[in-house]
């Protein structure tokens, strides 16, 4: 008996509001709204304000969109708003600019570099956990955000990570990311130029970030030559004109590297520690693995082969709560996707959260199950089903950096400490420019050698 693949389905989301379209649903209950869309088709038409857009709900269609960056280029509501702050930096650039920019920056993320960065990762995890004490109650999300910001600052940027400066960048970036999200989801245009308290706070945060990055660039120019990312950008020259990157272009690249390189990873680690604390069987298996592999010492890249279960925990966290939960694209030419004719200039939206919570692809998708990534089940997924870092040649340049960082940090923390929330505490997922858990009050208890 032969089976045939059903033809692609297109449809429209119900419940559009006049002028706002589905912007209110995306703003007020975005995850629930997105999860409801596959019932209406593989490609579903929604309203982003007064303008239409299509949400890609089928993994194969998402894969095609992500791997054909000429036809489905960076653009649409998210990127148009984000470019105000991040310019035409790597994640924001069109496909032509992107190819050149990626060539300039790729050496900073080669495997040998990541091994060097891992030394900084270990030092910073040691620094964080050395301050913990038995019974200490702390906001684990804030602690991890400081950790990951210090790591990206010291490793990729080779810059100083003074506590006051790190705290200032951390605070400003939270404000900016939230501001961009607000402007995408509620496209109120001129109202964002009114000097309200919120608008002034957003603009001031942007200015503070610019000054902080300018300080990193100035310090690098005054230092001896190096091979860090800042030095690479300062040495880059356009292939055709021979012109170097402008000061603004360098700043935009560093701004987005910091923005993408700390909050996303911190949120994923915070989700991981919460989920582990709620699943004793996962916690027991994870503790057994890290105790056998590390026995209380700091994890290094040489330990990765012995941290298979830790890596499955990370994969499952990224499935359930992908930090980059939605992005947009725009068609550069007339094309067809999932059977739907799309004229040039059509806005498309794809969501890793939507794709990774489809029950036909991930049974019982709200269940935290690291063993769903045991082979061969994890290899049988269709292309485009698990895309926490995007896909194609626009896949996040720092994906391996982040995976190594999360695995080593989680293993090191868990071989020394157990962290648990207050009895009866609940997780409230915070949906903004990135997906995060918000403040998480958890109490530390030592394990293994730390307990002695």
How many C-beta atoms lie closer than 10 Å to residue 352's C-beta? 26
CB 201, CB 158: distance < 8 Å: no
Span 256-280, pLDDT tens digits:
888 788 889 999 999 999 999 999 9
Q: Which of 243, 245, 226, 242 is nearest to 234 (CA)?
A: 245
CB 420, CB 445: distance < 8 Å: yes
CB 33, CB 22: distance < 8 Å: yes
Strands 347-350 and 43-48: unpaired
With a CB cutoff of 8 Å and minimum separation 6, the contacts of 440 are: 139, 140, 141, 270, 273, 274, 421, 427
> Per the domain annotation, does 52 fall within a domain?
yes
- Which CATH number goes with the domain that contains 363? 1.10.630.10
With a CB cutoff of 8 Å and minimum separation 6, the contacts of 315 are: 370, 373, 378, 386
Taking the alpha carbons at both ends of the chain, their separation in whole angstroms is 64
Span 195-205, pLDDT tens digits:
889 889 988 98
The residue range of the domain holding 325 is: 10-451
> Per the domain annotation, does 405 fall within a domain?
yes
> Per the domain annotation, does 1 fall within a domain?
no
> Per the domain annotation, does 5 fall within a domain?
no
In angstroms, rounded to a whole number, what is the distance separating the alpha carbons of residues 64 and 132? 47
Per-residue pLDDT of the chain (452 residues; tens, 9 = 90+): 444 566 778 899 999 988 888 888 988 899 999 999 999 999 999 998 778 899 999 999 999 999 999 999 987 766 676 676 677 788 778 888 888 888 888 998 999 999 999 999 999 999 999 999 999 999 999 999 999 999 998 888 888 877 777 778 778 887 887 887 777 666 667 787 888 898 899 889 888 888 888 888 888 888 888 888 888 888 888 777 778 888 888 888 888 888 788 889 999 999 999 999 999 999 999 999 999 999 999 999 999 999 999 999 999 999 999 998 988 899 999 999 999 999 999 999 999 999 999 999 999 999 999 999 997 555 689 999 999 999 988 899 999 999 999 999 999 999 999 999 999 899 999 998 789 999 999 999 999 755 55
Residue 180 has a pLDDT of 76
> Per the domain annotation, does 4 fall within a domain?
no
Residue 281 has a pLDDT of 98
Is cis: bond before 376, omega within 30 of 0? Answer: yes
> Per the domain annotation, does 391 fall within a domain?
yes
Q: What is the DSSP letter of 155?
A: T
Residue 1 has a pLDDT of 42
Q: What is the largest CA-CA distance in the chain?
A: 72
Question: How many domains in the chain?
Answer: 1
């Amino acid at each position: 008996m032969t089976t045939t693949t059903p033809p692609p389905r297109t449809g429209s989301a119900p419940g559009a509001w006049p002028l706002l379209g589905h912007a209110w649903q995306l703003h007020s209950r975005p995850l629930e709204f997105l999860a409801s869309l596959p019932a209406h088709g593989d490609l579903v038409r929604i309203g982003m304000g007064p303008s239409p857009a299509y949400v890609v709900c089928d993994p194969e269609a998402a894969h095609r969109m992500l791997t054909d960056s000429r036809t489905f280029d960076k653009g649409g509501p998210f990127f148009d708003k984000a470019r105000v702050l991040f310019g035409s930096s790597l994640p924001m650039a069109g496909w032509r600019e992107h190819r050149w920019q990626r060539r300039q920056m790729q050496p900073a993320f080669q495997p040998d570099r990541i091994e060097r960065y891992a030394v900084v990762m270990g030092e910073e995890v040691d620094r964080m956990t050395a301050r913990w004490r038995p019974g200490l109650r702390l906001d684990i999300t804030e602690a991890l955000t400081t950790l990951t910001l210090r790591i990206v600052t010291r490793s990729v940027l080779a810059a100083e990570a003074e506590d006051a400066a790190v705290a200032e960048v951390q605070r400003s970036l939270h404000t900016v990311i939230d501001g961009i999200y607000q402007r995408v989801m509620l496209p109120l245009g001129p109202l964002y130029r009114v000097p309200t308290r919120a608008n002034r706070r957003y603009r001031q945060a942007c200015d503070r970030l610019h000054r902080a990055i300018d300080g990193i660039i100035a310090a690098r120019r005054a230092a001896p030559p190096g091979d860090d990312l800042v030095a690479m950008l300062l040495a880059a020259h356009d292939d055709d004109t021979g012109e170097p990157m402008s000061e603004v272009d360098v700043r935009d690249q560093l701004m987005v590297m910091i923005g993408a390189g700390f909050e996303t990873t911190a949120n994923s680690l915070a989700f991981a520690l919460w989920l582990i604390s709620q699943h004793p069987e996962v916690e027991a298996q994870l503790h057994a693995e890290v105790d056998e592999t590390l026995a209380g010492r700091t994890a290094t890249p040489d330990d990765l082969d012995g941290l298979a279960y830790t890596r499955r925990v990370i994969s499952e966290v990224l499935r359930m709560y992908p930090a980059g939960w939605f992005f947009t694209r725009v068609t550069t030419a007339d094309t067809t996707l999932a059977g739907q004719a799309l004229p040039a200039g059509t806005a498309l939206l794809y969501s890793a959260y939507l794709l990774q919570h489809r029950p036909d692809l991930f049974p019982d998708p709200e269940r935290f199950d690291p063993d769903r990534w045991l082979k061969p089940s994890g290899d049988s997924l269709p292309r485009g089903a698990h895309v926490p870092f995007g896909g194609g040649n626009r896949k996040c340049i720092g994906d391996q950096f982040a995976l190594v960082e999360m695995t080593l940090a989680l293993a090191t923390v868990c071989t020394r400490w157990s962290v648990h929330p207050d009895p009866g505490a609940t997780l409230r997922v915070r949906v903004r420019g990135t997906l995060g858990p918000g403040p998480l009050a958890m109490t530390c208890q030592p394990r293994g050698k730390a307990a002695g």
